[in-house]
């Protein structure tokens, strides 16, 4: 294989790695934000359930106290029934007793609803706690890995750029000009192998003469269709 091609292939790997590193600067923060959001949402659901449970217990206690007070009123009114002397007093007292009974019934209904919420939330809390624990542990581990990766990107980029500068010293400017133009214009690989006597990028068939010249590896040639730099690889080019 032509020495310039070997250098270009190494350069292409470095450029790919540098591109991935640059892209990782964009997607890693998004990944971290999603992981943090999942932890926050799991925590918020757990906290909300705890708050609702606390409020339901307060409501239950509140209604218990009110019911007890109303039952005291009811007992007092019922005791007064023994001392009334007129129908008017009787009718008024019966109305008061009925009103208190309705109030007691309403509060008993509300207390029952509070007790049902307490029962449901007490069953839900272990599930939410386990969910939060799992999400927090798993996501925290991933966040630590991603943070470590972010911290190492700068050093890795510096190392790759140093390798790139070293390689550029051995590649003719004319070839580098073609390489950079194709890489920026076409995207992806700028140096590709011949495959089935065609450019493996655009699949344009090569003339027998061009294929033979590439196979001799005497000089670097480009695809007449897409402009990519072509090289011969015996493992795939003859297949």
- What secondary structure does DSSP assign to 4-53, as a single string? HHHHHHHHHHHHHHHHHHHHHHHHHHHHHHHHHHHHHHHHHHHHHHHHHH
Q: What is the pLDDT of residues 168-192, one digit of tens each?
A: 999 999 899 999 999 888 877 999 9
Catalogue all structural domains in the chain, each as residue range(s) with its CATH number. Answer: 23-168 (1.10.287.1490), 173-231 (no CATH)
Q: Which residue carries 């590193």 as its tokens? A: 21
Judge whether residue 237 has pLDDT over 70: no
Instruction: Please give the structure tokens belonging to residue 28.
Output: 């890693």
Who wins on pLDDT, 61 or 174? 61
pTM: 0.62
The confidence band for 217, taking pLDDT boundaries of 50, 70 and 90, is: confident
Q: What is the pLDDT of residues 97-136, one digit of tens each?
A: 999 999 999 999 999 999 999 999 999 999 999 999 999 9
Judge whether residue 239 has pLDDT over 60: no
């Amino acid at each position: 294989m032509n020495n310039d091609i070997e250098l270009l292939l190494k350069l292409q790997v470095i450029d790919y790695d540098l591109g991935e590193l640059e892209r990782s600067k964009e997607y890693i923060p998004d990944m971290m934000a999603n992981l943090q959001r999942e932890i926050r949402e799991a925590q918020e659901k757990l906290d909300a359930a705890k708050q609702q449970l606390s409020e339901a217990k307060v409501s239950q206690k509140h209604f218990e106290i009110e019911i007890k007070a109303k039952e005291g009123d009811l007992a007092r009114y019922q005791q007064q029934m023994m001392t009334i002397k007129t129908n008017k007093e009787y009718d008024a007292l019966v109305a008061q007793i009925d009103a208190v009974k309705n109030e007691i019934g309403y509060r008993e209904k509300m207390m029952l609803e509070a007790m049902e919420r307490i029962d449901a939330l007490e069953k839900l809390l272990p599930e939410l706690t386990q969910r939060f624990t799992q999400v927090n542990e798993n996501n925290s581990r991933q966040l630590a890995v991603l943070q470590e990766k972010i911290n190492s990107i700068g050093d890795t980029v510096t190392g790759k750029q140093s390798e790139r500068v070293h390689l550029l010293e051995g590649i003719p400017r004319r070839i580098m000009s073609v390489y950079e133009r194709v890489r920026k214009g076409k995207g992806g690989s700028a140096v590709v192998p011949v495959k089935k006597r065609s450019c493996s990028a655009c699949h344009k068939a090569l003339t027998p003469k061009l294929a033979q010249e590439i196979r001799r590896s005497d000089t670097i040639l480009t695809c007449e269709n897409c402009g990519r730099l072509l090289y011969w690889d015996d493992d795939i080019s003859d297949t």
